[in-house]
């Protein structure tokens, strides 16, 4: 009852508050996006500096993309993302849990937090350059390993599928686990200490506490992490691009979807790039939908906040 009255009198503020976002979005993203989608139905590219098209070709771009290696690149992207994400989320959860566990007296927390976030600060392209130099066959890593006597002749890291993919995974892990840790920590610290205290009184172990209290309560942020990571993974570009000089060598096994898109953009193939973007758009939409559903239980109200709110209200009531 009360709620309804409120909605009548304050609705206009809702509109006012979200207006800047939408105006900005419409101007700077939607217009370019519509452009992109429109051109996906055209044959439109540059040959040298002559423009070919735009000629309307219907679904031709979409069809020829299906006939290309697009699915293979999608697979590559998935593999590269998983290699980086799994250690990232596991380590981040572990660290966030340790950092926020008042019973573990970890000294120098601040120092560790600052350190693990550092790799995220460096430009991805510069980081990739650094890795490329370090893991080259005559680079520092090989010379260190050789002088330690662990290997007799240099390992050709970037010459093998396994080596290249592992390096990409390692870099993504290093760049993002600190970021994720801080995010999850903020979430865990948002949980009321009362709950942890109550749990302690009930005598649960830290493992139990982690799985039964912490994990469910940080679900919204976890979902956020997962979604942003999936989007980030889908958009993976700088690292493999620079590490493999844009070719996804060896044998195009490290070619990601955005690298594929980039090679179309580089050739100013607006039509193909547009179609590929639309595919990407659809795929990421579907992925996020699933993840969102998964992490928010089975309520079907699109933005699934009610269940969370209800839980929170109960928790708050309990606290009082």
Binding to another protein (CB under 8 A) within 179-218 occurs at 179, 182-183, 185-187, 189-190, 205-206
Report the residue count for the chain: 320
Q: Out of 58, 63, 66, 69, point to the residue binding another protein (CB under 8 A).
A: 69
**17 lies in the binding site for another protein (CB under 8 A):** yes
Question: Is residue 116 a contact point for another protein (CB under 8 A)?
Answer: yes
Piece of the chain touching another protein by CB under 8 A; list 77-85, 104-112, 208-216? 104-112
Q: Does 122 bind another protein (CB under 8 A)?
A: yes
Q: Does residue 52 interact with another protein by CB under 8 A?
A: yes
Comparing CB distances to another protein, the nearer of 82 and 115 is 115
The verdict on 49 binding another protein (CB under 8 A) reads yes
Check residue 117 for interaction with another protein (CB under 8 A). Answer: yes
Pick from 90, 102, 118, 151: which binds another protein (CB under 8 A)? 118
* Residue choice 146, 166, 247, 299 for contact with another protein (CB under 8 A): 247
Among residues 199, 213, 215, 288, the one that binds another protein under rule CB under 8 A: 288
What is the Cα–Cα distance from 77 to 258, expressed in whole angstroms? 9
Joined together, the tokens standing for residue 42 give 């055209």
| List 74, 78, 130, 198, residue binding another protein (CB under 8 A) | 130
Q: In this chain, which of 62, 74, 78, 139 binds another protein, going by CB under 8 A?
A: 139
Q: How far apart are CA 65 and CA 274, in angstroms?
A: 11
Q: Are 225 and 188 in contact (CB under 8 A)?
A: no
Q: Where are the alpha helices (DSSP H) in 191-269?
A: 193-201, 206-209, 215-217, 219-234, 238-243, 257-266
Which residue in 146, 163, 292, 293 binds another protein (CB under 8 A)? 292
Taking CB under 8 A as the binding criterion, the range among 76-84, 96-104, 208-216 that sits at the site for another protein is 96-104
Site track 155-174 with another protein (rule: CB under 8 A), x = hit: -x-xxxx------------x
Q: Residue 102 is inside which H or E element, if any?
A: none
d(CA 11, CA 303): 19
The three-point CA angle 147-148-151 to 5° equals 85
Nearer to another protein by Cβ, of 79 and 112: the residue is 112
Which residue of 115, 151, 197, 216 would you call a contact of another protein, by CB under 8 A?
Answer: 115
- Nearest alpha-carbon partner for 214 in 190, 181, 247: 190
Q: Does 110 bind another protein (CB under 8 A)?
A: yes
8 Å CB contact between 225 and 186: no
Q: What torsion do the CA atoms of 294, 256, 25, 268 make, to the nearest 10 degrees?
A: -150
| Residue 82: CB minimum distance to another protein, A | 18
- Position 87 contacts another protein (CB under 8 A): no
Distance between CA atoms of 267 and 273, rounded to whole angstroms? Answer: 10
Choose among 320, 307, 265, 308: nearest CA to 45. 265
**Which member of 56, 59, 63, 68 binds another protein (CB under 8 A)?**
68
How far is residue 180 from each of residues 36, 41, 56, 184, 250, measured CA to CA in Å? 32, 39, 45, 6, 31
Residue selected from 60, 120, 166, 299 as contacting another protein according to rule CB under 8 A: 120
């Amino acid at each position: 009852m009360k709620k309804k009255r409120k909605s009548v009198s304050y609705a206009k503020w809702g509109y006012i508050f979200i207006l800047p976002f939408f105006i900005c979005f419409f101007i700077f993203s939607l217009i370019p996006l519509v452009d992109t989608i429109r051109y996906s139905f055209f044959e439109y590219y540059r040959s040298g500096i002559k423009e070919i098209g735009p000629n309307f070709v219907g679904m031709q771009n979409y069809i020829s993309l299906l006939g290309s290696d697009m699915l293979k690149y999608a697979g590559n992207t998935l593999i590269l993302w998983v290699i980086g994400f799994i250690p990232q989320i596991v380590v981040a959860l572990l660290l966030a849990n340790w950092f926020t566990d008042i019973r573990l007296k970890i000294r120098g927390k601040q120092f560790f937090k600052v350190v693990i976030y550092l790799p995220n600060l460096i430009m991805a392209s510069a980081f990739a350059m650094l890795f490329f130099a370090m893991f080259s066959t005559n680079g520092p890593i090989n010379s260190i390993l050789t002088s330690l006597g662990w290997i007799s002749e240099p390992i050709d890291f970037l010459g093998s599928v396994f080596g290249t993919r592992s390096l990409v995974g390692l870099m993504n892990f290093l760049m993002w686990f600190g970021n994720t840790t801080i995010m999850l920590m903020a979430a865990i610290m948002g949980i009321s200490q009362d709950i942890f205290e109550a749990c302690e009184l009930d005598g649960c172990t830290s493992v139990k506490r982690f799985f039964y209290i912490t994990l469910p309560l940080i679900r919204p942020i976890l979902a956020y992490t997962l979604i942003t990571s999936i989007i980030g993974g889908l958009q993976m570009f700088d690292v493999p691009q620079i590490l493999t000089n844009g070719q996804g060598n060896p044998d195009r096994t490290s070619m990601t979807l955005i690298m594929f898109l980039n090679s179309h953009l580089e050739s100013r193939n607006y039509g193909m790039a547009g179609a590929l973007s639309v595919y990407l758009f659809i795929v990421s939409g579907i992925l996020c939908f699933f993840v969102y559903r998964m992490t928010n239980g089975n309520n079907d109200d699109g933005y699934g906040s009610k269940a969370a709110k209800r839980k929170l209200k109960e928790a708050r009531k309990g606290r009082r």
